[in-house]
Amino acid sequence: METVTASAPGRVNLIGEHIDYNDGWVLPFAIGERTTVRISLRDDTKFRFTSAQKKDVIEIDHSNLAPSKRRSDWSDYIAGTIWALEVDQGLNVHIDGQVPLGAGLSSSAALECAVALGLDRIFSMAKPRTDLARLAQRAENEYVGMPCGIMDQSVSLMATSGHALLIDCVTLETRQIPLDLTREGLELLIIDTNIHHALVDGGYRERRERCAAALRQLGMRSMRELDEAQLELFGNSLDGISYRRVRHAVTEIARVHQSVTLLEKGDFVGLGKLLSESHLSLKNDYEVSCPELDLAVEVSESMGALGARMVGGGFGGSAIALTPEEKIDQIKMEVVQAYAQSNFPKPRFFTALPSEGARIESDG
């Protein structure tokens, strides 16, 4: 086999926010937009990367593949995956991605996972998808230098269409959960605020550290040992802010489990309510929202979305709204108007349906 074409999707997380590092569960699904990679063997030790989305051509010799020699550009995601899979034969790699770059839809994981699956096939490694997910994550953590969890790579490699993927962030076990939005006449609207507040890094670290400290103070090892009733009983030793941070983690973990139960019953109205509760918790208890996200959520809800919430780290980025198909255009229009009235930047919109994970497109 001289040439392999593989593809992998971006993702969106339905529910389970700021709990991957709090021993929780997340419930992402793969979106329809995919990144495709064509890999062909060379008879030397050079790697040559091109992308339909980039003008430059990158050439790296195998002897320069160490993370310390990374170029700090788009080639790192590919070189890092080749490095993580310990490939030493020269390759031509051509990328063509439809996942919007830097919109919080994980074009980075789509790229790594497409490359990982393509390499696995061309070199007949036959690694389980869970291993490929860890290796792709390793590329992003240790090569690109981005300390992400395993969610993005797991769902990009393991999603199935019409399902969300429940991921246990402690054991990394996964379960396919039915999410047939099409049958319900629903779609997920993604509203990218185009805002990236500088607060995001410091705010993220502060939340992590405070939750860990609060757990120590409560004498608990994990947020999953705690429920809301127990927190009410034992939480009075915590200061007010820590109490609210922990309450977000504990209630969000409960909401993920409730979402799974509702989805198994096909109760999308109930799911919508949980999305909106998740947003309130992120806004009031975890305090990671911002006026732009709140406005996107409020307008979506008032215009007929079943529920809406901010996604990702917060302080900007995107919101999602679970929306009847026929209401999508009007919600978009109203959000654009409301943003203009508030002098916010122009938002971007995407729609998503649960799609298939990484696959081989062609062999040989």
CA distance 223 to 230: 11
H and E: helices and strands count for the chain: 10, 13
Cβ-proximal residue to Mg ion, closest one: 108
Q: Given CA atoms 106, 110, 115, 121 in this order, what sign does their dihedral have?
A: positive
How does DSSP assign 202-249, residue by residue?
A: HHHHHHHHHHHHHHHHHT-S-GGG--HHHHHHHGGGS-HHHHHHHHHH
Q: CB nearer to ligand ADP: give 65 or 105.
A: 105
108 binds Mg ion (CB under 5 A): yes
97 binds ligand ADP (CB under 6 A): yes
Contact indicator for 307, 331 with CB cutoff of 8 Å: no
**Residue 106 backbone zone (phi > 0: left; psi -120 to 50: alpha; other: beta):** left
74 binds ligand ADP (CB under 6 A): yes
Site string for ligand ADP, 30-69 (x = CB under 6 A): -----x---------------x-xx---------------
Cβ-proximal residue to ligand ADP, closest one: 97
The active-site residue, picked from 20, 76, 120, 152, is 152
Assign 3-state DSSP to the chain and report helix, strand, coil percentages, each to 5.
Answer: 45, 25, 30
Site string for ligand ADP, 100-139 (x = CB under 6 A): -xxxxxxxx--x----------------------------
CA distance 257 to 263: 10
Among 77, 123, 315, 350, binds ligand ADP (CB under 6 A): 77
Task: Identify whether 152 is a catalytic site residue.
Answer: yes
What are φ and ψ of residue 354, in 5° steps? Answer: -60, 120
Q: CB nearer to ligand ADP: give 137 or 258.
A: 137
Number of residues that bind Mg ion (CB under 5 A): 2
Give the residue numbers marked as catalytic. 152
- By CB under 5 A, name the binding residues for Mg ion: 106, 108
- By CB under 6 A, name the binding residues for ligand ADP: 35, 51, 53-54, 74, 77, 95, 97, 101-108, 111
